[in-house]
């Protein structure tokens, strides 16, 4: 089976860079995949993609060495299994509140006897290799998002879930949970301390911790703080930032 670069990098104690796909188009996915990210996530929760967009977007990513990841919209085993069968090598599950929900997500990502994933890797076997079914349990990465009050209250139990590879911090919803306005790259001391607490709990349990960032400066700080993966930017954010920059430069030079 094709090795999962995310796991390889984590074994080498390296931080993984993750890009984000909010736009549901194969060409956008291909362009982002060619920019050098270690992994790239198709967002089914808040992005414009639906499940029928996932296959072509994963095919576009697969032209590169970038690892294909999918954030599902909900902790739904059917959606998780479908994304995996289409070739996702990582699954991000939002709004995980307790160990039972974390275990449900893990089970959907693992074939029996350790999980409940149904056998039918229609595209995944072509992307991953002929021995995909035999080795997928060891290569697929499953990440549970910690972003709610219940998730924080049950943090240690979630991190201790057998088979869970990482917890993923959703900063905007975490701000809600802390009584703060939602924002990316939140410098509020309470938010920063809570993120560090999540990272410490994950590492204590022997799993990884991921920080969802909105820019390079904050992401660099997260790397220095010991996070194992940083989501750096999205296709949509880059498009907006680039357009604004060029317009601002034009206006400044023609004023």
| Predicted pLDDT at 3 | 98
Determine the pLDDT at residue 143. 99
**Among this protein's residues, is 46 annotated catalytic?**
yes
The whole-angstrom distance between residue 52's C-alpha and the CA centroid of its chain comes to 19
Q: Of the residues 25, 46, 126, 212, which is catalytic? A: 46
| 134 bridge partner residues | none
Given pLDDT bands bounded at 50, 70 and 90, which one contains residue 222? Answer: very high
In the chain, where are the structural domains located? 5-254
pLDDT tens, 83-97?
A: 999 999 999 999 999
DSSP 87-133: T-SEEEE----SHHHHHHHHHHHS-TTTS-PPS--TTHHHHH-TTHH
Residue 130 tokens read as: 């002929």
What's the fold here for domain 5-254?
TIM Barrel (3.20.20)
Instruction: Quote the CA–CA distance of 188 and 174 in Å, as a whole number.
Output: 12
Confidence of residue 255 (pLDDT cuts 50, 70, 90): very high
The stretch 1-7 carries a mean pLDDT of 98
Average pLDDT in the chain:
98
Q: What's the whole-model pTM score?
A: 0.98
Residue 69 banded pLDDT, cuts 50, 70, 90: very high
Percent of the chain's residues with pLDDT above 90: 100
pLDDT digits (tens, 9 = 90+) for 180-219: 999 989 999 999 999 999 999 999 999 999 999 999 999 9
């Amino acid at each position: 089976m094709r090795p999962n670069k995310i796991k390889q990098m984590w074994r080498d104690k390296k931080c993984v860079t993750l890009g984000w796909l909010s736009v549901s188009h194969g060409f956008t996915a291909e362009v982002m995949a060619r920019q050098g990210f270690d992994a790239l996530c198709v967002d089914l929760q808040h992005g414009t993609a639906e499940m029928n967009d996932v296959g072509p977007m994963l095919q576009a990513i697969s032209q590169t060495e970038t690892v294909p990841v999918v954030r599902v919209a909900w902790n739904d085993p059917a959606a998780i299994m479908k994304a995996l069968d289409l070739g996702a090598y990582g699954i991000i599950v939002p709004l995980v509140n307790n160990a039972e929900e974390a275990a449900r997500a893990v089970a959907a990502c693992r074939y029996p006897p350790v999980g409940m994933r149904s056998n039918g890797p229609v595209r995944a076997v072509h992307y991953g290799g002929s021995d995909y079914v035999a080795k997928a349990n060891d290569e697929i990465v499953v990440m549970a998002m910690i972003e709610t009050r219940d998730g924080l209250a049950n943090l240690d139990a979630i991190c201790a879930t057998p088979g869970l590879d990482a917890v993923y911090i959703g900063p905007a919803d975490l701000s809600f949970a802390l009584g703060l306005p939602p924002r990316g790259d939140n410098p509020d001391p309470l938010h920063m301390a809570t993120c560090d607490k999540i990272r410490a709990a994950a590492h204590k349990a022997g799993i990884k911790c991921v920080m969802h960032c909105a820019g390079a400066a904050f992401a660099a700080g997260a790397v220095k703080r010991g996070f194992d993966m940083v989501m750096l930017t999205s296709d949509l954010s880059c498009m907006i930032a680039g357009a604004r920059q060029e317009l601002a430069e034009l206006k400044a030079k023609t004023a």
